[in-house]
Amino acid sequence: MNRWLKRIGYFLFLLLWLMVMAFPTFAFFLATNGEVQFGSEPRSHLRFFMVQEEASGGVGMEWVRGARQVDNCTRTTIRYFLWEGSSAGQNVTFCQCYDPVSEAPLPTEESSCTP
């Protein structure tokens, strides 16, 4: 048992080391392109983007995923990690539903992620 714990520890350390080594590449692509997106589907992706406003600067993260227990709806979470300015009250989570036939977005009043 001790042998397996040691191997898992080595694996976790290696994974952490690879993440630390990949961070400068991620930061370079984010700074040069203004955004980095993982996933190509409009209803399921993770996107990092630069925030460059007069009063604030930092990085934003948008995570779009399917809503649980509700068909044709997505839940979007937007978080801000600012080094200049304040992100108090700026983080948001919302639901967007789509018409099952035409795939057109429904008005916000009709979008609910609760069954």
29-55 pLDDT, tens digit each = 999 999 999 998 888 999 999 999 888
- Taking alpha carbons only, the member of 55, 43, 51 closest to residue 91 is 51
Q: How far is CA 7 from CA 2, 19, 114, in A?
A: 9, 18, 43
**Mean pLDDT of the residues in the chain:** 88
Report the residue count for the chain.
Answer: 115
Q: Which two tokens stand for residue 18?
A: 């690879």
Q: Do 36 and 47 contact (CB within 8 A), yes or no?
A: yes
Give the residue extent of every domain in the chain: 1-33, 35-115
> What is residue 110's predicted lDDT score, i.e. its pLDDT?
63
Alpha carbons 74 and 45: distance in angstroms, whole number: 11
Q: Which residues pair with 36 in a beta bridge?
A: 48
Amino acid 73 reads: C
